[in-house]
Structure 1
Amino acid sequence: MLIRVLSYNMHRAIGVDRLFRPERIAKVINHHQADIVLLQEVDVGVPRSRKLDLAREMAEAAGYPHFATGLNVKLFRGKYGNATLSKFPITRSRNINLTVGKRKARGCLHTTIEINNSLDFVQNIAVFNLHLGLSSQERVRQVGLLIHSEEFTTLAPDAPCLVGGDLNDWRTRLAPIFTDILNFECASNHSSGYHNPYLTYPSFSPTGGLDKIFYRGPMELIRRKRCWMGITRLASDHLPVIAEFELQAATEKSQQIKIPDENIHFLI
């Protein structure tokens, strides 16, 4: 079964022209018709975005019956964080706290999505939607918090899993943790491996490959791309990345994943 995934830092629907235009973000999402959408910098009840619940607004405008939010930053009025939209049922969601010390609050929204179709195909997929910090050391510690969370450590190693979002990883230093240690593959790069990421920031003239999609389990990457249509250069300061997968049927249950402490003890 084919599933399409989009990851997009929507910058609170405030474009590079400094105008609040949520309809532009909705248009980008609608254009690509992804089954699962990972959004970062999503306002809920904040005056700068007309006190709207942008997760709900995007879900309704783009036709997604299911969505979940993980709000990390509490403002004087309102909050903001991450949101995951889905065309399939979200059976579980929890926000994983990735805040390091007294730095800005960060989190990863974990959802379990039940992929199904009319042919009795049913498969649960674990989705981790995250937005990491601006310091390299902070980001490494945040990845450590993620992979030692209950949601991550209880996953079977061959269970379908997606990790995506804005990693703020300018020098692509986090990718080897996922690919070389945790057996993920990268779906947000020009070729196999992780050394040539799609450049997504700033949207009008991108120089940084900050936005990533990693995958693991019975999923075959069919196609991938960076969306650089006219409206995406204006709608947000990031470009979205898109990946399409062939999701295979469920296999027998495996043992829980074992985090190799000898390799990544430095992450916590």
Structure 2
Amino acid sequence: MHFRVVTYNIHKGIGGRDRRYRPERIIETLAHLEPCILFLQEVDEDVPRSRHHHQTEMLAAELGFSHLAFQRNVHLKQGWYGNAILSRFPLSDVESCDLTIPLKKRRQALLARCKLSVGDHSRSLLLANMHLGLAGPERTIQLRRLLKHPMLAHAHKDTPILVGGDFNDVWGRLGRKVLEPVSYQNAGGMHRTFPALFPMRPLDRIYYRGPLQVHHAFASRTALAREASDHLPLIVEFTCRE
């Protein structure tokens, strides 16, 4: 079963260079990539800066996704922003994992079970989408806390798992320190995704565990992707063994 996953910090649909809210750029960028599963960060809901759009529902409608989940992370004066998962396959068991560190910005991970189905074949896949903190010790605590969540901690060793999002980890030390010792592998390498206009830092990652094979991974560097957000989308193509 072949499928494509994209993780993308959309920066509320606000361009990294012109600071203008133009969600059509995000929509066109993602439509061109034809993802099966989307991990999105910095997604607005009913916020004035983004015209009070409910961006998860808007993006799902524009891109033709039938299955979606949104997680409210930060409560603003009006509205929220947080993480979202969009999928062409059914989602169930949607849960939140609180990653907040005292005196730091509220952070959570959004988890879900996805029923991957291609032709006559189907497979359950676990998803975890997150936006980690800015400080190294904070990120380490957050990622270890996520791995202790029952959905991941109690998963069978043959259950495929994807953990992705904005890791805010420039050198990749976090994955080597926390994820790789418990059998997760870096699917996307060290593709630079930030800042979008002149990408220098590989902040966005997808890690996987279980019967998955990576075929291709890249950061989209189209002219439109460089303008749409302050991050570039990271794309990974997988095959799930039956």
What range is the shorter-chain TM-score in?
over 0.9
Report the more deviating stretch, 236-245 or 88-97.
88-97
Aligned match of 1:95? 96
Aligned match of 1:138? 138
Q: Distance in 1 between matches of 2:26 and 2:183?
A: 33
**Which structure has the bigger radius of gyration?**
1
User: 1:1-268 maps to which residues of 2 (within 5 A)?
Assistant: 1-16=1-16, 17-119=18-120, 121-189=121-189, 197-249=190-242
User: Structure 2: which 5+ runs fail to align?
Assistant: none
Q: Which amino acid aligns with 2:172?
A: T
Q: Which amino acid aligns with 2:94?
A: S
Q: CA deviation at 1:178?
A: 4.8
- Give the SS at the match of 1:174: helix
Q: Distance in 2 between matches of 1:9 and 1:102?
A: 23
Q: Distance in 2 between matches of 1:20 and 1:116?
A: 35
Aligned residues of 1:3 and 1:244 also touching (Cα < 8 A): yes
Q: TM-score of the superposition, structure 2-length normalised? A: 0.97
Q: CA deviation at 1:118?
A: 2.8
Aligned residues of 1:68 and 1:83 also touching (Cα < 8 A): yes
Q: Distance in 2 between matches of 1:179 and 1:46?
A: 35
Q: CA deviation at 1:84?
A: 0.5
CA RMSD of aligned residues (A): 1.0
Q: CA deviation at 1:117?
A: 2.6
Q: Which amino acid aligns with 1:172?
A: G
User: Structure 1: which 5+ runs fail to align?
Assistant: 190-196, 250-268
Q: How many residues align?
A: 241
Report the more deviating stretch, 88-97 or 38-47.
88-97
Q: Distance in 2 between matches of 1:233 and 1:38?
A: 18
Q: Percent identity?
A: 37
Q: CA deviation at 1:187?
A: 1.4
Aligned residues of 1:178 and 1:214 also touching (Cα < 8 A): no
Q: CA deviation at 1:161?
A: 0.4
Q: Distance in 1 between matches of 2:173 and 2:118?
A: 38
Aligned residues of 2:140 and 2:178 also touching (Cα < 8 A): no
Spell out, residue by residue over 1:163-201, the C-alpha distance to the aligned partner (whole angstroms, 9 max, x if none).
000000012211113553111111111xxxxxxx11110
Q: Distance in 1 between matches of 2:150 and 2:182?
A: 15
Report the more deviating stretch, 51-60 or 146-155.
146-155
Q: Distance in 2 between matches of 1:208 and 1:117?
A: 35
Spell out, residue by residue over 1:45-64, the C-alpha distance to the aligned partner (whole angstroms, 9 max, x if none).
11111111101111111110
- Give the SS at the match of 1:8: strand
Q: Distance in 1 between matches of 2:73 and 2:208?
A: 24
Aligned residues of 2:144 and 2:178 also touching (Cα < 8 A): no
Q: Distance in 1 between matches of 2:85 and 2:109?
A: 11
Q: Distance in 1 between matches of 2:224 and 2:96?
A: 31
Aligned residues of 1:70 and 1:95 also touching (Cα < 8 A): yes
Structure 1 runs, 4 residues or longer, greater than 2 Å off: 177-180
Aligned residues of 2:143 and 2:178 also touching (Cα < 8 A): no
Q: Distance in 1 between matches of 2:185 and 2:65?
A: 27
Aligned match of 1:264? none
Spell out, residue by residue over 1:104-159, the C-alpha distance to the aligned partner (whole angstroms, 9 max, x if none).
0001000111011332x110100000000011111111011101112221111221
Give the number of the structure with larger relative contact order, counting CA–CA contacts within 8 Å between residues 6 or more apart: 2
Q: Distance in 1 between matches of 2:174 and 2:216?
A: 23
